[in-house]
Amino acid sequence: MSTAVTQDQAIIPDDIAKSVILPASYRDETGIVHPALKWLRENMPFARAEVEGYAPIWLATKHADIMEIERTPTIFRSGLGEPYINAVVDTEFLKTMNEGRRGLDTLANMDAPEHTKIKNVTASWFMPANVRKREEAIRAIARQSVEKLLSYDGEVDFVKDIALHYPLRVIMSLFGVPQEDEPTMLKLTQEMFGNSDPEHQRTDVPATPEAAARAWREAVLEFHQYFDKLSADRRANPTHDLASIVANAEVDGAPLPGSFVNGYYIAIATAGHDTTSATTATAIQQLAAHPEQLRAVREDASLIPGLVDEALRWASPVKHFHRIVGEDIEFRGRQLREGDSLMLMYPSANRDEDIFTDPFSFDITRKPNRHIAFGYGPHQCIGQHVAKLEMRILFEELLPRLKSIELAGPVSYVQANFLSGPKTLPIRFEAA
């Protein structure tokens, strides 16, 4: 006889559940989200949340549990729903608009063998040896960004003026998007991932209960319009950029369908820079808070990879991914049913006391640093090597030029429970 706890016996207190599910909570991760996640790790590390307006969902908060779920994709499926959770009104609206299909044909919401075939389209391009060939071009962009920062003469909003633009320029140059189109890419990315944030919401979307879903869909449609033209051009005039590889790819002897091409494009053009922007800004924020670590990394560039990893752990810019249970199973003493939803809480895994010594301290010398900011298993981020390379290069170019950094005003954060990070980061700096 199973001793698994039934679903109604494992319900998370309402205030705790809201603190980690509602997008508004992520405007204050330090004061709201992380205390709630710590409580869950200590009291209900794998339990069920029932928040008004959202479908019931299991929250996985422990590093080991999330890794186990990630390494078992045949049970915990990505292809049975969207990769992130929405309010019920948003989910139903998107199902209607998409006629029951998934909203985007991206790797994040595919299962094997489809996932494997589509991932292989660009797998070799994203291998470390190939990514390293781009170092010189990325370094040139980093130097331009450093000169731009220094031109502000001692005070700058690091997010708005630097962090949003450097990784955008890097990924778009690798991708093949003209520089003059980058403002469009940035605007649509913010509207897509910040669709719950009042400052990022589209002005052409009515204030209805499903406004967030409407805004997301409008941004996706605009991306499709743009990328339809790009893929047509790359088929007619192929180059060596990433857009050409995707546009001209074949799977099982047939061209990649247009929806899959655009899904690839949108994923690269959004998450490919938004997560790096958040992590870069977080690193600068923490160096401002820890001047002794700034001095150490300025004096010893070999500490920069550690800075990158610790910033990834601390920021955890991807706040969750969504999995759906493919069959009845007992997991961590809980009885899960086919069709149940799981929310994998990466910020919690990356502050797990069982994995990290003093997890609420920022430490660029942390070793080992077993963060899973890029996920784990077959769905681990395909672009992680690009992200780490561009951040390393930026800090190699930037930190020797800065003698000091301090905050020059309040930091604000994107109101979103999927991808989030600093929205403003005013700093005061002294050039070296």
The CATH number of the domain holding residue 318 is 1.10.630.10
Segment 300-336, tens digit of pLDDT: 999 999 999 999 999 999 999 999 999 999 999 999 9
For the chain, what percent of residues have pLDDT higher than 90? 77
Residue 270: what pLDDT? Answer: 83
The reply to whether 198 falls in a domain is yes
The reply to whether 1 falls in a domain is no
Residue 170: what pLDDT? Answer: 94
The reply to whether 118 falls in a domain is yes
Domain range for residue 80? Answer: 7-431
Residue 1: what pLDDT? Answer: 40
Residue 77 has φ and ψ, to the nearest 5°, of -90, 145
Residue 388: what pLDDT? Answer: 96
The reply to whether 277 falls in a domain is yes
pLDDT grade, residue 386 (50/70/90)? very high
The reply to whether 200 falls in a domain is yes
How many domains does the chain fold into?
1
The reply to whether 2 falls in a domain is no
Segment 258-268, tens digit of pLDDT: 999 999 988 88
Residue 168: what pLDDT? Answer: 92
Beta strands in 238-311 (DSSP E): 250-251, 254-255
For the chain, what percent of residues have pLDDT higher than 70? 98
pLDDT grade, residue 197 (50/70/90)? confident
pLDDT at 397 over 60: yes
Q: What CA–CA distance (Å, rounded) separates 372 from 27?
A: 22
Residue 402: what pLDDT? Answer: 96
DSSP state of 337: -
Longest dimension (CA), the chain: 70
What's the Cα-to-Cα distance from 59 to each of 85, 292, 303, 344, 428, rounded to whole Å? Answer: 12, 37, 35, 6, 39
Segment 230-243, tens digit of pLDDT: 999 999 999 989 99
Contact 323, 72 (CB under 8 A): no
Segment 137-171, tens digit of pLDDT: 999 999 999 999 999 989 999 999 999 999 999 99
pLDDT at 5 over 70: no
Contact 321, 376 (CB under 8 A): no
Amino acid at 287: L
Segment 327-370, tens digit of pLDDT: 999 999 999 999 999 999 999 999 999 999 999 999 999 999 99
Q: What is the mean pLDDT of the chain?
A: 92
Residue 2: what pLDDT? Answer: 47
The reply to whether 399 falls in a domain is yes
Predicted TM-score (pTM) of the model is 0.94
The reply to whether 337 falls in a domain is yes
For residue 44, which of 58, 29, 28 has the smallest C-alpha distance?
Answer: 58
pLDDT grade, residue 214 (50/70/90)? confident
pLDDT grade, residue 9 (50/70/90)? low
| Of the listed ranges 19-33, 36-50, 193-207, the one predicted with least confidence | 193-207
Segment 91-114, tens digit of pLDDT: 888 888 777 777 788 999 999 999
Residue 157 token pair: 């909003």
